[in-house]
Structure 1
């Protein structure tokens, strides 16, 4: 009976392809939009992900993320270093500035000052040059996405910039996760960053802390907050703060949620209409089967097999389309590091099951109500 159901389905090529298209389009839309949504949210934690050494981030009590921070006095560093359980603590500066290239273009950039001695705060990997180039005068390291934006047709190494009326020379390029806004990022030593950033009374953005052996990051955050009165967050907590900030302060969740919902609705509409037409056109065949003794339960299994085949083919094509989309745009700096989380195809699969289950049940009702005698009228 299952074979007969498959032959009935594939025998009407127009409706079969229509069902497959509906499922494939819905799967593609849901999977692609959820993938972009999750990757954009993770960009809110890029500042934390790019720094892999610190167990704990310490900041002013009103600071929210790496990009939304209130500067602390320099004495905060000594307070943190005096806390029991702190193996090491280094200063970290993050500020905005404007640069003028040799072509006269003006670009807003993020200045990140890392510890002079250890260079803690730099991304782990360098695509060009070495991290020790910061020992040279006026040296900065640019992130690879920013380099593509500022110097699309040439290597940035050796380029001179006018950074807040001071000279800066790009001597290396880092492999970094872009920020949510894809702002150009320049890394330099903390002492040099203080000269690049306009002077204010307090300029220490964060203190990066390493925990001593036998002390967990969570225990250390509690101790630092109790001893200093500053806000301390573990690496995972601070990364989550960046994601939560985007969710709470932008319209991205609503916009992507509407698109995913539309994908689901379109899938239901296309598949439901096509499935109903298919059942209606084959109602006499189903009546004939019932007339020769095929039970309603076997009819349900037949329709389920038809829905399963459509779902399998359509879902596979939709996932394949998403993979092709991500691969096609992987060279674009905007999509750098984008990937498909394993949860997204699972969510799409559940959505496909719901679409097929809902539309299949609606279409099946007319078959179950069909009287065997109807075929002879």
Structure 2
């Protein structure tokens, strides 16, 4: 009598969970592999998220820059005439300069601290952060700066409104505490001020504009703006394209992407070897049961479904445990270490899920080959 699929799957489930040692070994192998894969890719996603934090926080629709720029902090100064040329282009609603530079500030305690200084357009303050304490208009007062309250805030000795510091022999005053959407990657505090004050306080080359921020009139104007900017020898990128440029740089032009890829592949191979070997051993130990099922009428197709179900159930259970474990670890780590950058995204979830399915497919393949070759006569001959 032919067994129904529900019945054969129920038998497979009981065979699987009744062998607690093998089932536990399978779960541990897949859970460990998922944990490692998720951890590696989550770290990389966190690094990328912080790498383009400046682009995210400023929020400009288009960025004009030198073609050699790879990251927001490695800006190449642009000539002043470029800003005027962009403003005169068809399709441009408005264009403003942005300054991004590094500086060394002397705190009240006498210690020195590296900072990142962002100079916003004096008129529009395009790209300004959210002000948590203080007033936005105070940025126009003498020597005024906003400080970002992020993971690096403590490196400035937890300043308050009215705290003073020294920057290149110039006096600076904190007039506001700001919040931003994403923390930076370089591990230094961030100060915001006006563009004119930034280029006055920080030594620069002949040109002072780091980026030209552009707001196109509509989506159809983006292509024409890009063409006009290219004729001048520069490049115009949308926010998404600039983020992709940064992603490509860290993925292919630094060792970060390669190292993460290698560790992810190693994690996959570890999970595949442990689960594959354990699952095949489980199949060998239960060959008599599979032969008995064949003897009472189970077809080869039903046994294939049974093995696929067992492998998939184990893989998905291990996947869930691995995701839960890595999520717990990231949550605890970020609560204790504000600079911890790992994040879970749909991308690394999908990658880990795909790799787990591959592990299940390969593991079940060898088990299916072995089961389909057995004959009931060989089982009962002894």
- CA displacement, residues 230-275 of structure 1 (integer Å, 9 cap, x when unaligned): 3322222222222222223311111111111111111111111211
- Of the candidates 3, 9, 12, which is equivalent to residue 5 of structure 1? 12
Alpha-carbon distance in 1 for matches of 2:90, 2:14: 74
Q: Match for residue 326 of structure 2?
A: 322
Alpha-carbon distance in 1 for matches of 2:356, 2:367: 16
Alpha-carbon distance in 2 for matches of 1:342, 1:307: 24
Alpha-carbon distance in 2 for matches of 1:178, 1:77: 29
- CA displacement, residues 133-184 of structure 1 (integer Å, 9 cap, x when unaligned): 21222111122225434147x4544332221222112222322222332332
Q: Match for residue 102 of structure 1?
A: 108
Does residue 69 (structure 1) correspond to residue 90 (structure 2)? The answer is: no
Farther-moved stretch of structure 1 (30-39 vs 254-263): 30-39
Alpha-carbon distance in 1 for matches of 2:328, 2:198: 42
Q: How does 1:49-60 map to 2 (within 5 A)?
A: 49-52=56-59, 54-60=60-66
Q: Match for residue 3 of structure 2?
A: none
Alpha-carbon distance in 2 for matches of 1:64, 1:27: 32
Kept in 1: contact 2:152–2:187 (CA 8 A): no
Farther-moved stretch of structure 1 (110-119 vs 297-306): 297-306
Quote the offset at 1:74 in angstroms.
2.8
Question: Could you say what secondary structure the match of 1:50 adopts?
Answer: helix
Q: Match for residue 141 of structure 1?
A: 146
- CA displacement, residues 215-239 of structure 1 (integer Å, 9 cap, x when unaligned): 522322222333x443322222222
Quote the offset at 1:276 in angstroms.
1.9
Q: Match for residue 188 of structure 1?
A: 193
- CA displacement, residues 19-65 of structure 1 (integer Å, 9 cap, x when unaligned): 1111111122212222221231233322211112x332223344343
Alpha-carbon distance in 1 for matches of 2:168, 2:108: 14
Kept in 1: contact 2:159–2:174 (CA 8 A): no
Q: Match for residue 164 of structure 1?
A: 168
Quote the offset at 1:197 in angstroms.
0.6
Alpha-carbon distance in 2 for matches of 1:16, 1:41: 37
Does residue 362 (structure 1) correspond to residue 366 (structure 2)? The answer is: yes
Quote the offset at 1:292 in angstroms.
2.3
Alpha-carbon distance in 2 for matches of 1:357, 1:274: 14
Kept in 2: contact 1:284–1:374 (CA 8 A): no
Quote the offset at 1:190 in angstroms.
0.9
Question: Could you say what secondary structure the match of 1:330 adopts?
Answer: helix
Kept in 1: contact 2:252–2:258 (CA 8 A): no
Quote the offset at 1:214 in angstroms.
7.3
Does residue 249 (structure 1) correspond to residue 253 (structure 2)? The answer is: yes
- CA RMSD, 1 decimal: 2.2
Q: How does 1:195-344 map to 2 (within 5 A)?
A: 195-212=200-217, 216-226=221-231, 228-331=232-335, 332-335=337-340, 339-344=343-348
Size of the alignment, in residue pairs?
A: 372
Question: Could you say what secondary structure the match of 1:145 adopts?
Answer: coil
Q: Match for residue 28 of structure 1?
A: 35
- For structure 1, list consecutive stretches of 5 or more residues without a partner in the other structure: none
Q: Match for residue 150 of structure 1?
A: 155
1:144–1:218 Cα change, 3 Å? farther
Alpha-carbon distance in 2 for matches of 1:302, 1:56: 55
- For structure 2, list consecutive stretches of 5 or more residues without a partner in the other structure: 1-7
Question: Could you say what secondary structure the match of 1:170 adopts?
Answer: strand
Question: Could you say what secondary structure the match of 1:137 adopts?
Answer: coil
Farther-moved stretch of structure 1 (102-111 vs 73-82): 73-82
